[in-house]
Amino acid sequence: MEVFEAISQRRSIRRFKEEDVDESLIEKIVQSGVWAPSAGNLQSWELILVKNPQTREKLSEAAYLRDFIAKAPLVMVPCVNLIVSGGVYGTRGVKLYSLQDVSCAIENMLLMAHALGLGTCWVGAFDEQLVIDLLEIPDNIRPVALIPLGYPDEKPYPPPRRDLDDFIHFERY
Amino acid sequence: MEVFEAISQRRSIRRFKEEDVDESLIEKIVQSGVWAPSAGNLQSWELILVKNPQTREKLSEAAYLRDFIAKAPLVMVPCVNLIVSGGVYGTRGVKLYSLQDVSCAIENMLLMAHALGLGTCWVGAFDEQLVIDLLEIPDNIRPVALIPLGYPDEKPYPPPRRDLDDFIHFERY
């Protein structure tokens, strides 16, 4: 699939078929994440892949009962490593670069998933401590999103986007 | 260009030709940013496009003398709107979602630029206050990156990436 087609036609998917996702596709998606740019090429991210149905159910509860999370065959939990990003770049590394880096990796994964005929949804609203406890995430690692992945069982309309004129500023703000 | 090709072959470009970039290409790149996902579809971002050579020179100084910024024909300065993201989602909106959202928009723009034969470099290390003063950025807006854009005058080798086994965790961390 062409780049602009993937970028413009990717949608958030909240209904999934029960069909499992082949390991080779998951590997291709994760590999796309790896190629994201990162500050100083630190790649200060970690990724937890959850298939266990009980764990997915609990992730759904941690995300304020969004039950489509539990219904996807796989949930990806991208995390940042605060020691790696902070060790080199201090506070700016922890509070800015590491979040930017993992976000690029996630966006790459969403685009690749769409290009492979799969659907995802970026879930940002969840109780971090519940997820940390559930997935036994150590102190220096922070989960930053829950990304259910599976074959889409809906075809949502594109949500509206701002006009370019509305947010582009020339030479100064 | 295919999605995985763009994702895996995009490099940070730090040498640019003097050749200008056509408006239609810039528009296509910015349009790619617009299609990024955002929390609640808030799209709480702004984009300053800088062509003026004196301003580019000062941006380069604000980025601790990285002179390739001044040498690119265009510098994009993506920003987040803290009132929009904070108004709906509070602190989590300001400190997490808005940064994730704008980062996805930036990654889309880097990929689209590469697919169009253009080069970019994500510069995160800069003095925010200097950039705010220079570009007359108001209180509630935060610049989060400097992205020089132009035709590449180098073909860097791919920097090493972590092995998948190094950062993937199954079922729990």
pLDDT at B20: 96
Chain segment A151-170, per-residue pLDDT in tens:
999 999 999 999 999 999 99
Residues from chain A that touch B141, judged by Cβ atoms under 8 A, are: 173
pTM for the whole structure: 0.98
Per-residue pLDDT at B92: 97
Question: Is the Cβ pair A173, B50 closer than 8 Å?
Answer: no
Strands B147-150, B119-120: pairing is: antiparallel
How does pLDDT run across B71-106, given as a tens digit for each residue? 999 999 999 999 998 999 999 999 999 999 999 999
Do residues A20 and A129 touch, judged by C-beta distance below 8 A?
no
Closest Cβ opposite residue B36 in set A3, A107, A112: A107
Q: Which of A4, A48, A92 sits opposite B173 (nearest CB)?
A: A48
Confidence at A125, pLDDT banded by 50, 70, 90: very high
Residue B141: strand, helix, or coil: strand
User: What value does the mean pLDDT take over residues B54-59?
Assistant: 98
Which residue in A has a C-alpha nearest to residue B52's C-alpha?
A171
SS3 A39: helix
Q: What is the pLDDT of residue A65?
A: 87
Beta bridge partners of B149: B74, B120
Cα of first residue to Cα of last residue in chain B, in angstroms, is 36
Q: What is the mean pLDDT of chain A?
A: 97
How far off is chain B from A99, nearest CA to CA, in Å? 7
Average pLDDT over residues B129-153: 98
Chain A: residue nearest B163 by CA?
A34
**In contact, B102 and B45? CB cutoff 8 Å:** yes
Pairing of strands A168-170, B45-50: parallel
Cα-based torsion angle of the residue sequence A150, A155, A160, A162 in order, rounded to the nearest 10 degrees: 50
Catalogue the E-assigned strands of B7-140. 45-50, 74-81, 119-120
Per-residue pLDDT reduced to its tens digit, A22-43: 999 999 999 999 999 999 999 9
Q: Which pLDDT band holds residue A54 (cuts at 50, 70, 90)?
A: very high
Mean pLDDT along residues A4-16: 98
Q: Is B118 helix (H, G, I), strand (E, B) or coil?
A: coil
B22/A65 Cα distance (integer angstroms):
48
So what's the pLDDT on residue B65?
Answer: 87
The confidence score (pLDDT) of residue A26 equals 98
pLDDT for the residue numbered B3? 98
Reported ipTM: 0.98
Percentage of the residues of chain B whose pLDDT score is greater than 70 = 100
Cα A64 from Cα A59, distance rounded (Å): 9
Pick B3's closest partner by Cβ from A6, A45, A89. A6
- The mean pLDDT of B49-69, rounded to a whole number, is 97
Least confident of A132-136, B85-89, B167-171: B85-89
Percentage above 90 pLDDT, chain A: 99
| B134 contact residues in A (CB cutoff 8 A) | 172
How far B46 CA sits from the closest chain A CA (Å)?
5
Chain B residues whose beta carbon lies within 8 Å of the beta carbon of residue A171? 48-52, 55, 135
Mutant choice from A50, A101, A107, A141 vs B, greatest count of B C-beta within 10 A: A107
Amino acid code (one letter) for A115: A
Q: What is the mean pLDDT of residues A137-147?
A: 97
What is the Cβ-side half-sphere exposure of residue A144, based on CA atoms within 13 angstroms? 33
- Give CA–CA dist A69/A8, Å, rounded: 23
Mutation site, A103, A110, A116, A140, interface B, largest B CB count within 10 A: A103
Inter-chain residue contact A168 with B30, CB threshold 8 Å: yes
Chain A nearest-CA distance from B18, in A, is 19
Q: State pLDDT tens for residues A57-78.
A: 999 999 998 999 999 999 999 9
Question: Helix, strand, or coil here: A68?
Answer: helix
**Which contacts of A85-94 are long-range, i.e. CB under 8 A and separated by 24 or more positions?**
A85/A39, A85/A42, A85/A44, A88/A39, A88/A40, A88/A42, A89/A39, A89/A40, A89/B125, A92/B124, A92/B125, A93/A39, A93/A42, A93/A44
Q: How many CB atoms lie within 10 A of CB A143?
A: 23
pLDDT of residue A51 exceeding 90: yes
For residues B136-164, give the mean pLDDT: 97
